[in-house]
Amino acid sequence: MKPEIYIKDLSKHVGKEVTLKGWLYNKRASKKVKFLILRDGTGYLQCVVFVGNVTDEVFALADNVSQETAFEVTGIIKEDTRQVGGFELDATDVKLIGESEDYPITPKDHGIEFLIDNRHLWLRSKRQVAIMKIRHRIAKSIRDFFDSRDFTLFDPPIITPNASEGTSTLFEMEYFDLGKAYLTQSGQLYAEAGAMALGKVYTFGPTFRAEKSKTRRHLTEFWMVEPEMAFYNLDDDMDLAEEMLEYIVKSVLKDNKAELEILERDISKLEKIERPFPRLSYSDAIEMLKEEGHDVEWGKDLGAADETIISSKYDKPVMVHRYPAESKAFYMKRDPENEKLALCVDVLAPEGYGEIIGGSQREDDYNKLLGRINEHKLPVDFFKWYLDLRKYGSVPHSGFGLGLERTVTWICGIDHLRETIPFPRMIYRNTP
Ligand code: 4AD
Ligand code: MG
């Protein structure tokens, strides 16, 4: 039953007869010949059904197949450089597998709401297939990167008793007789326990934020990779982030040329992503914004507009470090040279894509961390285990979180996160 050959492997079958299975992507027709564009998830192939080469029934079927009809086609593979993919099939037989009547997404333009309502079908379009393939490549390159550097994949819980990234974006649930529980905002706190056990770990999974804002950069469910390393300081952390980003971009450039072309991505922009990346302190970033006449105040986190201005100065990701501690999470270590600053970094993608990574060196002193937990009015009881990590063999350690969808959005050069995850979840949408 399963296909023996896929479109991506056709170069091995030139001049031979093959049978392929898939769906009708598009069709052109004249009286004597029907051109059926087959898609099978690995590529697209023009199948030429000529009236003299097939039975009358088969020719009638080729005439009737409609968009997204599933079918099987047999014929000889010819090299044809004019065609997408470089091949064409001269059909000798066509068999119907599954009909498709009135497929809702036609080649004409549809509004975005209509497309998202039909996300389960929209995923079949050329552009969406290209984005999903790049997403897959990015996820795989991330795993390859860490796996080949002695990191252990470490899976944190999804259901957690407390916040890690501030209480304003928590998704709440009733957890049996134990009161409230929350969907995880980040695996980091657990990854820290992992780093103390295994040295270098990374988490990679879904995370949740009840983001009340309707922006193109926010999903309520998104995937994050979070490496955490014992004995790394902030500089080591930034070096790793930089090396990882370069590796990801190079992997996509190597393996996804065809997909980047479908997306009309300006590849020259990606080719510039090479180490070293510019590093800029938060205070210098504020100075830079002020010099440009922007109304900014030292002390506040940078907004999306500020990030766009900063990143537009460079053609590489820029690493902004040492933000005012007040504007950042409770677990960040303070800069010994200036207690007002946190030893943290945000990496801003070029071309105005904004923050893709947030990371920091973690507070490793028991009493200081306890003080922060209290200052932030967090429930100390739930952090007892986290404080233990500072009680039994505490060491300097650091890590960061890379948002997968933001990274895919940037590398694909598209303008909204909703196309980078199979079924996006946003404040106003949880279907299909
Ligand atoms: O900067 P954030 O909040 O950092 C953390 O969660 C740390 N615990 C990470 C760590 O140090 N281990 O989030 C990290 C990244 C952001 O830079 C962004 O790329 C992504 O996660 N992100 C989102 N992506 C999509 N939708 C949202 N609502 C996101 N919020 C954060
Ligand atoms: Mg952040």
What is the per-residue pLDDT for 179?
A: 94
**Ligand 1 lined by 211 (C-beta under 6 Å):** yes
Å from CA of 401 to ligand 1 middle: 6
**Ligand 1 lined by 165 (C-beta under 6 Å):** yes
User: Which CATH number does 119-419 carry?
Assistant: 3.30.930.10
Å from CA of 357 to ligand 2 middle: 7
**Ligand 1 lined by 186 (C-beta under 6 Å):** yes
Question: Ligand 1, closest atom to CA 188?
Answer: 12
Query: Among 32-41, 102-111, 152-161, 240-249, where is mean pLDDT lowest?
Result: 102-111
**Ligand 1 lined by 237 (C-beta under 6 Å):** no
For 7-98, which CATH class?
mainly beta
Mean pLDDT, residues 49-58 taken together:
98
Q: Does the structure show a pLDDT above 90 at 82? A: no
Mutate to test the pocket of ligand 1, among 222, 238, 323, 421 (most ligand atoms within 8 A of CB): 222
Å from CA of 400 to ligand 2 middle: 10
For the chain, the C-alpha Rg in angstroms (whole number) is 26
Per domain, the residue ranges of the chain are 7-98, 119-419
Give SS3 for 21: strand
pTM: 0.97
Mean pLDDT, residues 112-139 taken together:
98
Å from CA of 51 to ligand 2 middle: 61
Q: Does the structure show a pLDDT above 90 at 90? A: yes
What is the per-residue pLDDT for 208?
A: 98
| Proximal ligand: closest to the CA of 166 | 1
Mean pLDDT, residues 27-36 taken together:
97
Identical fold, 7-98 and 119-419: no
Mutate to test the pocket of ligand 1, among 185, 186, 331 (most ligand atoms within 8 A of CB): 186
Å from CA of 358 to ligand 1 middle: 6
- Give the Å distances, CA to CA, from 318 to 142, 201, 261, 402: 20, 25, 26, 14
What is the per-residue pLDDT for 264?
A: 98
Environment of ion ligand 2 (residues, CB < 5 A): 358
**Ligand 1 lined by 192 (C-beta under 6 Å):** no
| Proximal ligand: closest to the CA of 401 | 1
| Proximal ligand: closest to the CA of 355 | 1
Identify the residue whose C-alpha is closest to ligand 1 atom 17: 357
CB–CB of 414/263 below 8 Å? yes
What is the per-residue pLDDT for 331?
A: 98
What is the per-residue pLDDT for 248?
A: 98
Q: What is the band of 214 on the pLDDT scale with cuts at 50, 70, 90? A: confident
**Ligand 1 lined by 324 (C-beta under 6 Å):** no
What is the per-residue pLDDT for 49?
A: 98
Mutate to test the pocket of ligand 1, among 168, 203, 224, 353 (most ligand atoms within 8 A of CB): 224
- pLDDT tens, residue by residue, 256-270: 999 999 999 999 999
